[in-house]
Each structure stands twice: as C-alpha cells, then as structure tokens.
C-alpha cells in the first residue's frame, strides 16, 4: 500500500469519526427508584436504542428519579426528553387537573406508548393488625415522597375516603427505595406503592420480614373509578409474594411512556422503532413487561395525543390505520 493511500484512509476515518460524534444526540429518560419497575424498563428502552447508535447517533441515558410527577415536570421544563408516568398523571397534566391545577394544562405533552399495569399496592406488617384498607387508620403509614406517582394517587385516595394524613398515627414521606427497610425495621406499619409486578421493592418488603398485601376495595374506591377512565380494578396474583397466597383486589393505573411535542420527530421515531422491532427482546428484559401487546400499547391508557414520530412508526408498522 503506498503512503498517499494510507494517509487518505486515515483522513477519511478521522473525518467519519468526527462527523459521527458531532451528530450524536443525547436523550434522557426519567424513571423512578432503582427497586421499582420504571428504572429497569427505562434501562431496557435505552439498551435497545443504543444498540443502533451507529445508524442514528442517539445516545440514551436513564435517570433514577422521584417518580411520575417529577418526570413530567422535568419534561415540561425541558430538562428531560422522555419519562415514564402513571396514566392518571398523564391525564391530569394534559388537562391541568388535580395536582396540576396550579401550573395549568401542559398541552405539549405527547404519549408514545403505554406499558405495564400498576396496581395500587399496600403492604402491611403481619403484626400490625391490618387486613383491610380501612385498618390503616390510626397506623404509621408511608404515603410516599412528593413527586412520586404513588403519593399523588394516595392523595386522591385520601380525599375519596374523606381522610387526611391526620387519620394516621404517622404519615411518612420516604421514597420507594427506603420503604421496605422502614417496614421491616418496624418504623412504619404499612407502605403504599403504585408499581408493576413483580417488583424488586415489594419482593424486598415481603421477604425481609413477615408482611401481607392488603385489599383496596370498598365503596369509596369503586365510586372513584366510576368516572375516571385512567383507573381500573386490578388483581395482584396470590403466590407472587411471600405471605400472600390469595389474589389481592385493588385498583390501579397503567404506566405510560411520554415526551414533549418539542422533542424531534426523528428521535421519537427511532426510539419507537427500536422497541417495536425488537419487541420480544424488550418484553424479556423485565417480568412486568411479559404481558405487553403492541396493539394495546398503542391504543390504551393514553390521554395525551401521540407524538408525531411515534405515529409515523405505528402507521408504517400497520399498528395505526
């Protein structure tokens, strides 16, 4: 090989390398606590996106956060491009209702797809004398950190029950990653978590000490569900967690994946494509995703309009007419 050619090859390689890094686009996904389901699901999404980086130049990173409300606020502020959020939070943000009444509707909120169901999960110490949701009155309860979806949902539940935090002996605001330890150290009697199953956090709480999952099913909850399409009754299968052999009846939301209309169409298209073209692999990355079906992920659980990039992919793939 002569010298001139070598130099030419090296220069070309340098040029290609320079061009690729100049084109690299960083995207961030807001998730939740590391023992929840959002965090590993965000990791699964990034893994599939990053695999094709040489083609599209997108570098996807996951952030552990306070949860749904934190994630959508970060998207609204332009600090994160994507986030996982409960279906009730998506609804209220898009409509400017409940917890978003003060900040107003965020009309640029865009849905990409819905994910796994998230039952409102109550775990109590076996020695705390709690067998129904009503038994939480007078007990020490972790109601969740502000910014989390479970806290936002718990606030709605408290109102529906006609309770305030004063109805508990103590209401703590620990983030999900600290709940199991607090329960097993006997610092609280019960914890609530709106989360997919199986989840690391509930596994931890049910194996580290003696606990039971509690039904959340009464007239007030049923009335709450009547006019709210983003809630539905849910079952946590018996035998999934130690200490709870029968099915648990509660209500739940769905996890959804959202972004802003301001995020580039091509980026959302590439991300959506990465998930749906590698669907079996995606489902295999966390047991809570096993039940997902492409059709329902596109059509169910979203109140905000689909992002144009996601819509483009769904039409191409025949998932939308």
Applying CB under 6 A, the residues found at the interface with ligand GLU are 32-33, 36-38, 67-68, 86, 118, 148-150, 194-196
Tokens encoding 201: 């956090």
Quote the CA–CA distance of 165 and 301 in Å, as a whole number. 29
* Closest CB 74 distance from ligand GLU, rounded Å: 13
* Closest CB 283 distance from ligand GLU, rounded Å: 16
Distances (CA, A) of 9 to 19, 77, 126: 15, 45, 70
- Cβ proximity to ligand GLU, 49 vs 201, nearer residue: 201
* Closest CB 176 distance from ligand GLU, rounded Å: 6
Half-sphere exposure of 53 (CA within 13 A, CB side): 16
Residue 165 burial by Cβ neighbours in a 10 Å radius (0-12, 13-18, 19+): middle
- Cβ proximity to ligand GLU, 30 vs 309, nearer residue: 30
Check if the beta carbon of residue 94 is closer than 8 Å to that of residue 88.
no
- Cβ proximity to ligand GLU, 58 vs 89, nearer residue: 89
- Cβ proximity to ligand GLU, 121 vs 278, nearer residue: 121
* DSSP track, 184-227: HTTS-SEEEEE--SS-HHHHHHHHSS-EEEEB--SHHHHHHHHT
Q: Minimal CA–CA distance to 31: which of 82, 77, 73?
A: 82
- Cβ proximity to ligand GLU, 149 vs 309, nearer residue: 149
In which element (H, E) is residue 52 found? none
Residues present in the chain in total: 321
* Closest CB 138 distance from ligand GLU, rounded Å: 26
- Cβ proximity to ligand GLU, 128 vs 258, nearer residue: 258
* Closest CB 89 distance from ligand GLU, rounded Å: 7
Q: Minimal CA–CA distance to 150: which of 5, 82, 252?
A: 252
* Closest CB 144 distance from ligand GLU, rounded Å: 7
């Amino acid at each position: 090989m002569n010298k001139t050619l070598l130099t030419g090859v090296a220069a070309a390689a340098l040029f290609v390398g320079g061009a690729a890094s100049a084109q690299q686009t960083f995207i961030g996904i807001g998730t939740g606590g590391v023992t929840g389901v959002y965090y590993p699901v965000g990791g699964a999404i990034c893994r599939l996106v990053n695999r094709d980086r040489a083609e599209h130049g997108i570098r996807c990173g996951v952030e552990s956060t306070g949860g749904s409300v934190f994630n959508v606020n970060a998207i609204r502020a332009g600090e994160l491009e994507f986030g996982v959020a409960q279906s009730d939070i998506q609804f209220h943000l898009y409509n400017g209702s409940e917890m978003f009444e003060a900040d107003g509707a965020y009309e640029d909120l865009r849905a990409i797809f819905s994910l796994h169901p998230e039952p409102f999960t109550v775990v109590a110490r076996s020695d705390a004398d709690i067998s129904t949701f009503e038994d939480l009155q007078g007990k020490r309860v972790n109601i969740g950190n502000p910014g989390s979806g479970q806290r936002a949902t718990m606030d709605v539940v408290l109102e529906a029950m006609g309770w305030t935090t004063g109805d508990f002996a103590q209401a703590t605001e620990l983030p999900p990653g600290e709940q199991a330890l607090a329960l097993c150290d006997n610092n609280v009697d019960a914890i609530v978590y709106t989360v997919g199953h199986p989840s690391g956090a509930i596994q931890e709480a049910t194996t580290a000490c003696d606990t039971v999952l509690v039904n959340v099913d009464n007239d007030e909850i049923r009335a709450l569900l009547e006019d709210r399409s983003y809630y539905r009754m849910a079952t946590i299968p018996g035998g999934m967690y130690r200490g709870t052999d029968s099915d648990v009846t509660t209500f739940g939301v769905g996890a959804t994946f959202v972004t802003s209309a301001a995020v580039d169409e091509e980026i959302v298209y590439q991300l959506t494509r990465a998930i749906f073209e590698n669907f079996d692999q995606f489902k295999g990355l966390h047991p809570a995703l096993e039940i997902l079906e492409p059709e329902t992920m596109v059509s169910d659980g979203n109140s905000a309009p689909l992002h144009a990039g996601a819509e483009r992919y769904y039409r191409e793939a025949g998932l939308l007419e």
